[in-house]
């Protein structure tokens, strides 16, 4: 879940919208500088304006699919695009190809196993216009909208919807495909809470795999397809539980306290990986399967300094990866393990734009 003036949307949900809203128009951070080049080499900028997020690799590591609300492309809210990395890197004139219907609002796209078709969530059947966004600062909180008209679709490379995978009332989004090509994990509120669900690649056999109260989302598979990594909120006190349920009843969530978890695809062996406080989200497994990269503002004083970190799957050896700018998130390793794509508000000319970047990865 989305992207308009960021503030940590990982709708993967979602949108970077809220984070950006908090950010001053600057590309520097008050944190002490560190050397990003230890892990990131040859950084190239792929987009050059608007809010761009959730850029994910094709199976051949040559293309990306991502969401954007760039007004120069005539967009009012997030739509899905396909990006040729070789053609577009460091080229402000490059125009990626649209994949979504350009109706409603879309989010959370991902390549299907054939490398041609693309999975994404859209509200277009609930209305051709961008859905109305409620007050996202209600009660002084930073909030994300959970639109109940989101369903999950598959489109071909020309943008034609070829299959609808979910058809339930409520929020169905944040879907990604297993590297094995057999399963899709997604987030749904159909059971009354925002939980992880899994289904076969054709949309059949849909099963709930998390059950604890809180917002479970932004899940990704391990390389062997046996585990998931995701971020979750876990309200505990009566006041926290009431607030969570009250917001959810209004189609809203307050994503300010989240930690990283792993779980087997059958729902067993649930483990909390981080206990850092604040917002820890947008996780992805390192190609080795032994580490997790994610975004966090746990070191931030004011809340909007999000950097990329790496941590072992046992919760040890936390390492900071980025230091440039005050928003870095949505990191994903390419299937061949050679590159990292991520989104950042670095080099944005003093605006609040968030763009897609790709770098060569060095362990």
235: CATH = 2.120.10.30
Contact 131, 78 (CB under 8 A): no
Q: Does residue 333 lie in a domain region?
A: no
How many CB atoms are located within 10 Å of the residue 47 CB?
25
Residues 6+ apart with CB under 8 A from 240: none
Q: Are strands 151-155 and 161-164 parallel, antiparallel or unpaired?
A: antiparallel
Q: Which residue's entry shows tokens 């990395």?
A: 85
Among 32-46, 105-119, 136-150, the range with the most confident prediction by mean pLDDT is: 105-119
| Predicted pLDDT of residue 296 | 97
Per DSSP, the three-state class of 295 is: strand
DSSP annotation of 126 reads G
Give first-to-last CA distance, the chain, whole Å.
Answer: 30
- Cα 308 to its chain centre, rounded Å, is 13
Token couple for 319: 């390492």
Q: Does residue 48 lie in a domain region?
A: no
The whole-angstrom separation of Cα 185 and Cα 200 is 9
Per DSSP, the three-state class of 184 is: strand
Contact 31, 41 (CB under 8 A): no
Q: Which residue's entry shows tokens 């926290």?
A: 240
User: What are the b/e assignments for 264-300, b being 16+ CB within 10 Å?
Assistant: ebebeeeeebbebebbbbbbbbbbeeebbbbbbbbeb
Q: Does residue 355 lie in a domain region?
A: no
Q: Does residue 230 lie in a domain region?
A: yes
Residue 182: pLDDT over 60: yes
Task: Tell me the percentage of the chain whose pLDDT exceeds 90.
Answer: 85
Token couple for 145: 């909208």
Q: Does residue 335 lie in a domain region?
A: no
Token couple for 254: 């307050």
Contact 130, 2 (CB under 8 A): no
SS (H, E, C) 189-224: CCCCCCEEEEEECCCCCCEECCCCCCCEEEEEECCC
Range of the domain at 185: 55-302
Q: Which of 137-141, 177-181, 182-186 has the lowest mean pLDDT?
A: 137-141
| Predicted pLDDT of residue 34 | 65
The residue that leads in pLDDT, 73 or 32, is 73
Which one, of 23, 9, 20, 52, lies nearest residue 254 by Cα?
9
Which one, of 155, 194, 198, lies nearest residue 180 by Cα?
198
Predicted TM-score (pTM) of the model is: 0.91
Q: Does residue 319 lie in a domain region?
A: no
**Dihedral pair phi/psi, residue 232, rounded to 5°:** -150, 145
Residues 6+ apart with CB under 8 A from 96: 66, 81, 82, 83, 84, 88
Q: Does residue 329 lie in a domain region?
A: no
Give the model confidence (pLDDT) of 4-42 as tens digits. 333 334 343 333 444 443 443 333 333 445 678 899 999
| Predicted pLDDT of residue 142 | 86
The whole-angstrom separation of Cα 356 and Cα 320 is 19
What's the domain count of the chain? 1
Give the model confidence (pLDDT) of 250-285 as tens digits. 999 999 999 999 999 999 999 999 999 999 999 999
Per DSSP, the three-state class of 24 is: coil
How many CB atoms are located within 10 Å of the residue 107 CB?
30
The whole-angstrom separation of Cα 329 and Cα 2 is 14
């Amino acid at each position: 879940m989305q992207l308009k003036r960021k503030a940590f949307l990982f709708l993967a949900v979602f949108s970077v919208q809220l984070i950006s809203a908090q950010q001053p128009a600057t590309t520097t951070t008050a944190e002490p500088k560190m050397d990003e080049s230890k892990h990131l080499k040859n950084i190239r900028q792929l987009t050059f304006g608007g809010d761009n997020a959730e850029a994910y690799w094709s199976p051949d590591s040559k293309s990306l699919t991502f969401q954007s609300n760039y007004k120069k492309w005539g967009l009012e809210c997030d739509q899905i695009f396909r990006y040729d990395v070789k053609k577009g890197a460091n080229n402000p004139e490059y125009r990626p190809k649209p994949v979504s219907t350009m109706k409603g609002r879309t989010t959370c796209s991902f390549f299907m196993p054939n490398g041609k078709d693309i999975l994404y969530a859209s509200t277009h059947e609930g209305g051709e216009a961008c859905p109305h966004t409620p007050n996202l600062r209600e009660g002084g909180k930073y909030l994300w909208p959970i639109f109940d008209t989101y369903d999950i679709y598959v489109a071909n490379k020309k943008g034609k919807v070829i299959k609808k995978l979910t058809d339930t009332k409520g929020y169905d989004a944040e879907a990604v495909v297993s590297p094995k090509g057999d399963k899709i994990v997604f987030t749904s509120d159909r059971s009354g809470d925002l939980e992880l669900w899994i289904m076969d690649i054709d949309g059949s056999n849909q099963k709930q795999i998390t059950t604890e109260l809180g917002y479970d989302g932004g899940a990704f598979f391990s390389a062997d397809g046996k585990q998931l990594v995701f971020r979750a909120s876990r309200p505990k006190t009566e006041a926290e539980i009431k607030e969570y349920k009250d917001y959810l009843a209004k189609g809203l969530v307050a994503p300010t306290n989240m930690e990283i978890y792993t779980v087997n695809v059958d729902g067993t062996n649930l483990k909390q990986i981080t206990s850092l406080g604040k917002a820890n989200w947008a996780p992805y497994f390192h190609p080795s399967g032994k580490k997790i990269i994610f975004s966090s503002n746990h070191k931030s004083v004011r809340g909007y300094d999000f950097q990329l970190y790496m941590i072992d799957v046992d919760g040890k050896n936390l390492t900071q990866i980025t230091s440039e700018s005050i928003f870095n998130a949505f990191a994903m390793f390419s299937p061949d393990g050679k590159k990292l794509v991520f989104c950042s508000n670095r080099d944005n000319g003093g605006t609040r734009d968030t763009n897609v970047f790709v770098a060569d990865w060095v362990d």
